[in-house]
Amino acid sequence: MTAHRDRLDAVSVSSENAAAESVTNTVHAERTIPEATVARLALYLRALTGLAEHGTATVSSESLATAAGVNSAKLRKDLSYLGSYGVRGVGYDVALLTEQMRSTLGLNENRAVALIGLGHLGKALAGYTGFATRGFRISALIDTDPELVGTTLREIAVQHVDLLEQIVRSENIAIAVIAVPSSVAQEVCDRLVAAGVTSILNFAPTVLAVPDHVDVRKVDLAAELQILSFHDNRKSARSDAQAGPLSAALGTRPGGGTGLASSTMGATGLGSKAMSDTAIGSTA
Amino acid sequence: MTAHRDRLDAVSVSSENAAAESVTNTVHAERTIPEATVARLALYLRALTGLAEHGTATVSSESLATAAGVNSAKLRKDLSYLGSYGVRGVGYDVALLTEQMRSTLGLNENRAVALIGLGHLGKALAGYTGFATRGFRISALIDTDPELVGTTLREIAVQHVDLLEQIVRSENIAIAVIAVPSSVAQEVCDRLVAAGVTSILNFAPTVLAVPDHVDVRKVDLAAELQILSFHDNRKSARSDAQAGPLSAALGTRPGGGTGLASSTMGATGLGSKAMSDTAIGSTA
DNA sequence: GTATGTGAAATGTTTCACAGCC
DNA sequence: GGCTGTGAAACATTTCACATAC
Q: Which of residues 32-51 of A touch B (CB under 8 A)?
A: 33, 35-36, 38-43, 45-47
Which of A127, A161, A262 lies nearest to residue B120, judging by beta carbons? Answer: A127
Assess if CATH 3.30.70.20 describes domain A20-104: no
**Residue type at position B193:** V
49-88 of chain A touching strand C, CB 7 A cut-off: 60-62, 72-73, 76-77, 79-80, 84-88
In percent, the amount of chain B with pLDDT more than 90 equals: 65
CA of B88 to C1' of C21 (A): 6
Do β-strands B152-153 and B156-160 pair in parallel, antiparallel, or remain unpaired? Answer: antiparallel
d(CA A36, CA A20): 13
d(CA B254, CA B257): 9
The tens digit of pLDDT for each residue in B74-126 reads 999 999 999 999 999 999 999 999 999 999 999 998 899 999 999 999 999 99
CA of A148 to C1' of D14 (A): 48
Q: Is the CB of A139 under 7 A from strand C?
A: no
The answer to whether the Cβ–Cβ distance between B279 and A226 falls below 8 Å is no
Closest C1' nucleotide to B4's CA: C14
Q: Which of B17, B144, B214 to mutate to test the interface with A (most CBs of A within 10 A)?
A: B17
| Contact status, residue A65 vs residue A72, Cβ threshold 8 Å | yes
d(CA B118, CA B153): 10
**Residue type at position A104:** T
Helix (H) or strand (E) segment spanning residue A138 = strand A136-143
CA of A148 to C1' of D21 (A): 60
Chain D positions within 7 A of any protein Cβ atom are: 1-8, 12-17, 20-22
Question: What architecture (CATH level 2) is domain B111-219?
Answer: 3-Layer(aba) Sandwich (3.40)
Name the residue closest to D21, CA to C1'. A88
The tens digit of pLDDT for each residue in A238-253 reads 676 655 443 333 333 3
CA of A90 to C1' of C7 (A): 22
So what's the pLDDT on residue A256? 33
**Residue type at position B196:** G
Tell me whether residue A76 is exposed, middle or buried, using C-beta atoms within 10 angstroms of its C-beta: 0 to 12, 13 to 18, 19 or more.
middle
d(CA B76, CA B84): 10
Nearest Cα residue to B217 out of B10, B8, B6: B10
CA of A189 to C1' of D11 (A): 32
Q: Which of residues 55-114 of A touch B (CB under 8 A)?
A: 67-70, 104-107, 109, 111, 113
Tell me whether residue A201 is exposed, middle or buried, using C-beta atoms within 10 angstroms of its C-beta: 0 to 12, 13 to 18, 19 or more.
buried
Q: Is the CB of B71 under 7 A from strand C?
A: yes
Which of A205, A237, A257 lies nearest to residue B284, judging by beta carbons? Answer: A205
Local confidence pLDDT in tens for the 284 residues of chain B: 333 333 333 343 333 333 333 333 334 445 699 999 999 999 999 999 999 999 999 999 999 999 999 999 999 999 999 999 999 999 999 999 999 999 999 999 889 999 999 999 999 999 887 777 788 999 999 999 999 999 999 999 999 999 999 999 999 999 999 999 999 999 999 999 999 999 999 999 999 999 999 999 999 988 999 999 999 998 887 676 655 443 333 333 333 333 333 333 333 444 445 565 443 433 33
So what's the pLDDT on residue A17? 34
- Region for A122 from its dihedrals, namely left if φ exceeds 0, alpha if ψ lies in -120 to 50, beta otherwise: alpha
Q: What secondary structure letter does DSSP report for B256?
A: -
| Contact status, residue A179 vs residue A115, Cβ threshold 8 Å | yes
Q: Within 10 A of B50 (CB to CB), how many other CB atoms are there? A: 17
Annotated binding site of A for NAD(+): 117-122
| Contact status, residue B61 vs residue B92, Cβ threshold 8 Å | yes
Q: Within 10 A of B246 (CB to CB), how many other CB atoms are there? A: 7
Closest C1' nucleotide to B73's CA: C15
- Measured between alpha carbons, how far is residue B47 from residues A13, A51, A88, A202, B64 in Å? 15, 43, 51, 17, 7
| Contact status, residue B230 vs residue A38, Cβ threshold 8 Å | yes
Helix (H) or strand (E) segment spanning residue A38 = helix A35-53
| Contact status, residue A94 vs residue A56, Cβ threshold 8 Å | yes
- Region for B106 from its dihedrals, namely left if φ exceeds 0, alpha if ψ lies in -120 to 50, beta otherwise: left
Q: What secondary structure letter does DSSP report for B252?
A: G
The answer to whether the Cβ–Cβ distance between B205 and A236 falls below 8 Å is no
Q: What secondary structure letter does DSSP report for B243?
A: S
d(CA B202, CA B192): 12
Q: Which parts of chain A sit beneath pLDDT 50?
A: 1-29, 244-273, 277-284
- Measured between alpha carbons, how far is residue A1 from residues A5, B35, B236 in Å? 12, 20, 45
Asked if B162 has any chain A CB less than 8 Å from its own CB, the reply is yes
| Number of residues assigned to chain B | 284
Asked if A151 has any chain B CB less than 8 Å from its own CB, the reply is no
Q: Is the CB of B76 under 7 A from strand C?
A: yes
The number of C-beta contacts closer than 8 angstroms across A and B is 520
d(CA B119, CA B183): 14
Q: Which of B139, B166, B225 to mutate to test the interface with A (most CBs of A within 10 A)?
A: B225
The tens digit of pLDDT for each residue in A91-111 reads 999 999 999 999 999 999 889
Q: Is B177 helix (H, G, I), strand (E, B) or coil?
A: strand
CA of B136 to C1' of D19 (A): 53
The answer to whether the Cβ–Cβ distance between B105 and A230 falls below 8 Å is yes
Which of B8, B175, B265 lies nearest to residue A35, judging by beta carbons? Answer: B8
So what's the pLDDT on residue A244? 47
The answer to whether the Cβ–Cβ distance between B120 and A116 falls below 8 Å is no
Chain C positions within 7 A of any protein Cβ atom are: 1-7, 12-17, 20-22
